[in-house]
Amino acid sequence: MRRRQQIGIVRRRGIGQSIQRVFLFALLGLFCLYYLAPLIVMVSNSLKSLEEIRMGTLISLPRDVTFEAWGKAWNAACVGVRCDGLEPYIWNSVFMVVPAVAISTFLGALNGYALTKWRFRGADIIFALILFGAFIPFQVILLPMARTLGLLGLAGTIPGLILVHTVYGLAFTTLFFRNFFIGVSDGIVQAAQVDGAGFFGIFFRIVLPMSLPAIVVTVIWQFTQIWNDFLFGIAFTVGDSNPVTVALNNVVNTSTGVKEYNVDMAAAIIAALPTLAVYVIAGAYFVRGLSAGAVKG
Amino acid sequence: MADVRLEEVRKSFGTTEVIKGIDLEIDAGEFVVLVGPSGCGKSTLLNLVAGLETLSSGDIFIGGRKMNDVPPRDRDIAMVFQSYALYPTKSVRENITFGMMTRRIPKDEQDVAVKEFSSLLHIQDYLDRKPGQLSGGQRQRVAMGRALVRKPEVFLFDEPLSNLDAKLRIEMRTEIKKLHQRLGKTAVYVTHDQIEAMTLASRIAVMDDGHIRQFADPATVYEEPVDLFVASFMGSPPMNMIPGRLRRDGGLFLENTGPDGASFRFPIPESIARRIEKPEGHEVVLGLRPETIFAAGTELPGKDRFVFERPVDVVEPTGPDTMIVFEIGGSDLIARVRPQDAGQSGKLFRFEVEMDKAKLFDAATGLRL
């Protein structure tokens, strides 16, 4: 006799069930492989020498592992006419993404708080209007935004890009925080009011520390959106102020010389690593935040 | 010590009027319970006193000072919420001291106050825990501590016990009463539980549909309800209501006629009858509390007893008493008898009614006659 399963929902047993489960897991494994294939190909090719890629196929695993391509992608690949690799552009992206994420998340939290806990006449209409911003396609605001940035003297600069992303992101961050705060008991805010705290006192001391899960979700979302953005980056920055996505494009789409697949692949992974890191770090924190400190009511 | 005075207070949300002109005078040191069914406006009224809602019209005075435009923090009040509304990211100690912190009370004074009230409420052992790590009863105590620690003039309670289990609720009820006796501060307490109202209040305000129906001490509200609403709301199991018409036939009677045409007469005792000037045939409702109906011959004889026989429908033992449900004229009535007197369902049972405890209401206006 097999030992009975100790946890979970009671399941039917028998040979038919076992076959079904084997089939199920085989199918899941297949899908796993299917989704992981591009990543595997990228990583394996970034670890090959150009010689090896030319001799073999893209699918084969590397025979001699070398990090040459990574090094070149980092600081020697040619982006347009400059050949310093992706490094300076990574920093451009960092200097853009950190303030843009911080400001848009903060303002979104403030908006959500005001819209739910200090309800005023027309709050729902204002929220609907803000939400409307989430449905405006990027392309639509390109020209008006270009003109605005020109008037502000921010055209072609990183601060200009920060402004664009902050404004565009507000719709989403407000939505996230509004929906989080709507579930927070009004009693907590009322108690704090009776306790003598004001609008900002309650926001910073009570509400913001409570909203860690919402902050993490918003940061993940905003970071991914802004870091991966290509359209605003290519439209509103020039040359040296390009974010890494635009630089990556320039590396890969270079029309001179031999196509260095290994460098392209390494560069693409480098450009994607920060978002991956945010997912891993913040994601774990997010799960912890959800389960700890939850309080009924 | 501060009294609370409400004058012609009204509150509307959009086009719906929730509080429809309330006058209420709460003396300093009194424990007033606002009781009523859900949606009667009792919590709104409390929020108006707290300043968490703006008045539509009327005035609110606390300690003689007009509070209409005074924000909650400056009203010298403290409030205990139904959901406890503890700050989840703060420890118990920080929860309790938050109000003193925002008022910049020196740290050593805060510590003294925390010490005093945490031992009073038996929460001294988990001052450093987060609310999420506490049980419902412990959270309730912390919420009380947060309100007590600032020593306000007026305490406001918004259904503070309704999230607790039955046993804990009774314990905390007693404790709240003890605290009030000890501190002697004015308290306004909202509940939908009429037993809580009866046990805690020095005076009860029974609310319905934005009005106060009756404002009196518990005994008066129970024994002399002003109308059908108050009579049926207070008391558990509720008062038996028997509709009928007045008959004068050598004395005053209530004649109940069931859907089957059978009629049943209750004699109205002289003590009530002499107040009644309504004509023959006037539609009235007779109110009999379950405890005034018992098994015939089980109590010492008294005046104005009325004995009748009806078949028993359902027998419901509760432990100390047994409820017998029977039927007159199509409506179910409940009698409260001693367990050893309980009959069997389906069998005839002799009931005895203390008619001098009966209440008579006008069926049209609902007012007591």
Domain boundaries, chain B: 4-228, 240-362
Q: What is the CATH number of the domain that holds A217?
A: 1.10.3720.10
**What average pLDDT does range B289-305 have in this prediction?**
89
Predicted complex ipTM: 0.82
The answer, yes or no, to whether residue B174 has pLDDT greater than 80, is yes
Same domain, A56 and A95: no
Asked whether the beta carbons of residue B79 and residue A190 sit closer than 8 angstroms, the reply is yes
Same domain, A116 and A252: yes
3-state SS of B14-26 is CCEEEEEEEEEEE
Assess if residue A80 is contained within a domain. no
Asked whether the beta carbons of residue B86 and residue A195 sit closer than 8 angstroms, the reply is no
**What average pLDDT does range B143-171 have in this prediction?**
90
* Structural domain span for residue A29: 15-66
pLDDT at A12: 81
Owner of token pair 């630089």? A247
pLDDT at B185: 92
Asked whether the beta carbons of residue A293 and residue B88 sit closer than 8 angstroms, the reply is yes
* Residue B102: Cβ-neighbour burial (10 angstroms; 0-12, 13-18, 19+): middle
Q: Which residues of B touch A297 (CB under 8 A)?
A: 82-85, 163
Asked whether the beta carbons of residue B84 and residue A297 sit closer than 8 angstroms, the reply is yes
CA distance A231 to chain B (A): 40
More confident residue, A295 or B167: B167
Same domain, A138 and A248: yes
pLDDT at B157: 94
How far is the first Cα of chain A from the last one, in angstroms, to the nearest whole number?
Answer: 47
Assess if residue A9 is contained within a domain. no
Same domain, A29 and A107: no
Of all residues in chain B, the one with the smallest CA distance to A209 is B89
To test the contact with chain B by mutation, choose from A184, A195, A211 the residue with the greatest count of B C-beta atoms within 10 A, namely A195
CATH numeric code, B4-228: 3.40.50.300
Assess if residue A297 is contained within a domain. no
pLDDT at A6: 67
Residues of chain A that touch chain B, judged by Cβ-Cβ distance less than 8 Å:
185, 187-188, 190-197, 201, 205-206, 209-210, 292-297
pLDDT at A296: 39
Q: Which residues of B touch A187 (CB under 8 A)?
A: 81-85
**What average pLDDT does range B139-162 have in this prediction?**
91
Same domain, A184 and A234: yes
Tell me the C-alpha distance between B171 and B175, whole Å: 6
Q: Which residues of B touch A197 (CB under 8 A)?
A: 73, 98, 102
Most confident of A8-17, A30-39, B254-263, B264-273: A30-39
Asked whether the beta carbons of residue B52 and residue A197 sit closer than 8 angstroms, the reply is no
Tell me how crowded residue B332 is: count the other CB atoms within 10 A of its CB: 11
Q: Which residues of A touch B164 (CB under 8 A)?
A: none
Of all residues in chain B, the one with the smallest CA distance to A289 is B89
Confidence class for position B315, pLDDT limits 50, 70, 90:
very high
What would the two tokens of residue B356 be?
């001098």
Same domain, A28 and A154: no
Of all residues in chain B, the one with the smallest CA distance to A191 is B85
pLDDT at A295: 43
Asked whether the beta carbons of residue B79 and residue A209 sit closer than 8 angstroms, the reply is no
Same domain, A148 and A252: yes
Assess if residue A224 is contained within a domain. yes
Say yes or no: domain B240-362 is CATH 2.40.50.140.
yes
Confidence class for position B35, pLDDT limits 50, 70, 90:
very high
Same domain, A125 and A96: yes
pLDDT in tens, B78-88: 999 988 899 99
Same domain, A93 and A62: no
Confidence class for position B204, pLDDT limits 50, 70, 90:
very high
Same domain, A150 and A276: yes
**What average pLDDT does range B200-221 have in this prediction?**
95
Same domain, A113 and A217: yes
Q: Which residues of A touch B99 (CB under 8 A)?
A: 194-196
CA distance B163 to chain A (A): 10
Write down how long chain B is: 369
Question: How many domains does chain A fold into?
Answer: 2
Q: Where are the beta strands (DSSP E) in chain B?
A: 4-13, 16-26, 31-35, 57-62, 65-66, 77-80, 154-158, 186-191, 203-208, 211-216, 240-248, 252-257, 263-268, 283-288, 293-295, 305-317, 322-328, 331-337, 348-354, 359-362
Of B73, B84, B132, the CB nearest to A193: B73
> Which range, of A58-62, B25-29, B186-190, B252-256, averages the lowest pLDDT?
A58-62
pLDDT in tens, A49-68: 888 888 877 778 888 888 88
| Share of residues in chain B with pLDDT > 90 (%) | 70
Same domain, A242 and A141: yes
CA distance B167 to chain A (A): 20
CA distance A249 to chain B (A): 45
pTM of the predicted protein model: 0.82
> Which range, of A31-40, B90-99, B265-274, averages the lowest pLDDT?
B265-274
Give residue A58's identity as a one-letter amino acid code.
L
**What average pLDDT does range B318-341 have in this prediction?**
92
Low-confidence ranges of chain A (pLDDT < 50): 1, 292-297
